[in-house]
Amino acid sequence: MPTSVPKLALLWDESHLWGLLAWRGLCALGARPHLLRTTDVTAGALDRLQPRVLVVPGGWAGRKAQALGEAGRAAIRRYVKAGGTYLGFCGGAGLALRNQDPTAPLLGLCELRRKPASRRLPNCSGHVHCRLHVPQYSASEAVLPVWWPSQFDLDDTTIHILATYQRPGPDFWVADLPLDDIAPDDLSAWEAIYGINLHPRWLEGDPCILSAPFGAGSAILSYAHLETPNSPQANALLAALLDLPEAPIPPWDIRQLTPAWEDSALAQMLAAVQGLIALGERHFLLTWRTSWLLGWRRGIPASHITTLLAMLSTALSLPVSPSTRRWWHSQSPRCLELCQKLCEETARYLVQERRSMTQNPSSPECGGSARTSMRQRLFGPFPGYGGMYGQILQILDELLAKILPEATGLKV
């Protein structure tokens, strides 16, 4: 594959765990994704590089839109309109939708919006049996993974549906409840406790993946995370959509790593996060859903903890250049201090949550004002992120944005 015109580009900013998942998956399929920052997009990188596909990973769609700014959003629309292909997973799919909030404009690559929470299954995860309608793929059904998707509000007749949800798979959860363990007749009682839809009927028959024309190009929007490790049917479908040779995306164990370089600060941060997870496991607040993803009691900020571990593990697992090492050494004292403080205070927060769970259900919207204030100071408001965690994330995000292009050898 020529390095001057990369076959695929990956929009890195505001993707974090999901950006690593996409980068790792594309590499496993034989692609060398060219990492783009939002500043690159604004500066005309898509016009210069002309990638065949722009892959946009999961993450918060609104934050992606804000990071791109008006110029970056216009650059992506121009790229697709001229014949490019946009492939968005989950939050990357949401970024392409029609604007709902004038303060955080989206790309508007199609006329779709997302369904309101009252008309969808707002907090589900795991594999789902789906019916496929993909011209370049022979299978008519596949089991595809979703990780807390939204749902399309389908009202555009130009949209081509590529996959529809049929029924939950065996590892499917609603909120923090493994669905197979809940009797169907009991779901209404759980819904009364949780205050959200939990029945899978809100998902069944809805579009999961679709393709929308935009000018001479198209946007493929997938609420299924086809880049999920060790999900062979999803991985095969991703290869077909990208016109790449079919290959499995191997398991990813963020708990195990072989360091490619030694760094005391990263090692201490990794140990602190691992210790925090062990505490959460002892108090029955955290468990491992997969080797790359924590499961958690409702309201526990475990997605943030998973992200930290994944980013630290990846940073230590890949070789770094002397210039990247120098940059990191200028940032590492502050990042280490923040991480150790975050883990210490989060440990106290988790114990407080454990105590409170004997009295009230825990959720991002429920709990004592002191705990809510503590959580927001540590991790920022829900939905989204911020606080002390957000400061750490910003530094680690910059570190990985330097390391990953060095691993593929592709520069802007």
| DSSP assignment of 158-219 | T-EEEEEEEEE-TT-EETTEEGGGS-GGGHHHHHHHH-S---GGGTTTSEEEEEEEETTEEE
**Residue-level pLDDT at 368:** 64
Residue 363's pLDDT band, with cuts at 50, 70 and 90, is: low
The rounded distance, in Å, linking the Cα atoms of 296 and 303 is: 8
pLDDT: is 313 or 360 the higher one? Answer: 313
Task: Give percent above pLDDT 70 in the chain.
Answer: 94
Residue 4's pLDDT band, with cuts at 50, 70 and 90, is: very low
**Does residue 172 surpass a pLDDT of 50?**
yes
Residue 293's pLDDT band, with cuts at 50, 70 and 90, is: very high
The rounded distance, in Å, linking the Cα atoms of 391 and 341 is: 12
**Does residue 357 surpass a pLDDT of 90?**
no
**Residue-level pLDDT at 125:** 98
Question: Residue 269 phi/psi, 5° resolution?
Answer: -65, -45
Residue pair 7/52 in contact (Cβ under 8 Å)? The answer is yes
The rounded distance, in Å, linking the Cα atoms of 325 and 117 is: 44
**Does residue 3 surpass a pLDDT of 60?**
no
**Residue-level pLDDT at 32:** 87
Kindly give the pairing relationship between strand 34-36 and strand 8-11. Answer: parallel
Residue 2's pLDDT band, with cuts at 50, 70 and 90, is: very low
pTM of the model: 0.93
pLDDT: is 18 or 407 the higher one? Answer: 18
> Three-state SS for 4?
coil
Residue pair 290/357 in contact (Cβ under 8 Å)? The answer is no
Per-residue pLDDT reduced to its tens digit, 364-399:
555 568 888 999 999 998 888 999 999 999 999 999
Q: How many residues does the chain have?
A: 412
Q: What is the mean pLDDT of residues 344-371?
A: 79
**Does residue 1 surpass a pLDDT of 70?**
no
Residue pair 132/140 in contact (Cβ under 8 Å)? The answer is yes
Cα-based distances in Å from 151 to 104, 314, 357: 19, 31, 30
Cα-based distances in Å from 364 to 197, 374, 376: 16, 12, 10
**Residue-level pLDDT at 278:** 98
Residue 361's pLDDT band, with cuts at 50, 70 and 90, is: low
The rounded distance, in Å, linking the Cα atoms of 95 and 63 is: 9
**Residue-level pLDDT at 356:** 87
**Does residue 331 surpass a pLDDT of 80?**
yes
Lowest mean pLDDT among 68-77, 158-167, 400-409: 400-409
Task: Give percent above pLDDT 90 in the chain.
Answer: 85
Mean pLDDT of the chain: 93
**Does residue 9 surpass a pLDDT of 60?**
yes
Residue 409's pLDDT band, with cuts at 50, 70 and 90, is: low
Half-sphere exposure of 183 (CA within 13 A, CB side): 3
Cβ-Cβ contacts under 8 Å for 330 (sequence gap 6 or more): none
Token duo for residue 55: 């892959």
**Residue-level pLDDT at 367:** 55
**Does residue 34 surpass a pLDDT of 60?**
yes
Per-residue pLDDT reduced to its tens digit, 107-165:
999 989 999 999 999 999 999 999 999 999 999 999 999 999 999 998 767 799 999 99
